Amino acid sequence: RSEKEVQQQAPERSRSESGLLVVLDLFGKLWTLPYTLIGFLIGLPAIGLGARISFGENAVRFEDFPFGCGALTLGNCVIYARGTAPADKVIGMYDDPRCLCVGRHEQAHTYQYQLLGPLFLPVYFLAGGISPRNPLERAANEYAAGGSWWPRGWR
């Protein structure tokens, strides 16, 4: 094959790979839809109390949620309590000494949900729950720092 033929086939391969990624992303969003709907049921009523809806980091975001603190991811829905924003940089998140972006951390959880679907919360709590020892939390910190969203050593 000539170099020209190889170059012509490469974009087709990347288009088909892109198409597969889109299909997998859509399947993941459907797979975790029950959790996403729970996030909507929690977030939508808060709009009347000053919460705002936005989109980003692979999620529908409810910002300025009037209760709680920090952020909570449910499927492809992230609820940011008043005083926490997706662009915030936090030092010491789950005992991590790095300055990490909250939105990227929560985005990692959306990918974890898309892979595990309805199994996410049982796996999350069996892995340690809201704790620096939880490998899913450590992986979310790694993703916020530019690494992988999936825990090291988990296959």
* Residue-level pLDDT at 55: 97
- Give the Cα separation of 123 and 115 in Å (integer): 12
**All residues at 6 or more sequence positions from 30 whose CB lies less than 8 Å from its CB, including other chains:** none
pLDDT beyond 80 at 15: no
Question: What is residue 1's three-state secondary structure?
Answer: coil
Percentage of the chain lying above the pLDDT 70 cut:
92
Residue 1, pLDDT score: 53
Comparison of pLDDT for 10 and 15, the residue scoring more: 15
β strands within 1-155, DSSP E:
52-56, 59-65, 71-74, 77-81, 89-91, 99-101
Q: What is the pLDDT of residue 18?
A: 86
Q: Reading across the β-sheet that carries 52-56, which strands appear in turn? A: 52-56, 59-65, 77-81, 71-74
Tell me the pTM: 0.88
Q: What pLDDT score does 14 carry?
A: 77
Quote the crossing angle between the two packed helices 33-43 and 3-31, to the nearest 10°: 60
Q: What is the pLDDT of residues 87-109, one digit of tens each?
A: 999 999 999 999 999 999 999 99
Q: What residues are paired with 52 via a beta bridge? A: 63
In whole angstroms, what is the distance from residue 139 CA to residue 153 CA? Answer: 11
Q: Which tens digit of pLDDT belongs to each residue from 29-59?
A: 999 999 999 999 999 999 999 999 999 999 9
Whether pLDDT at 6 is above 50: no
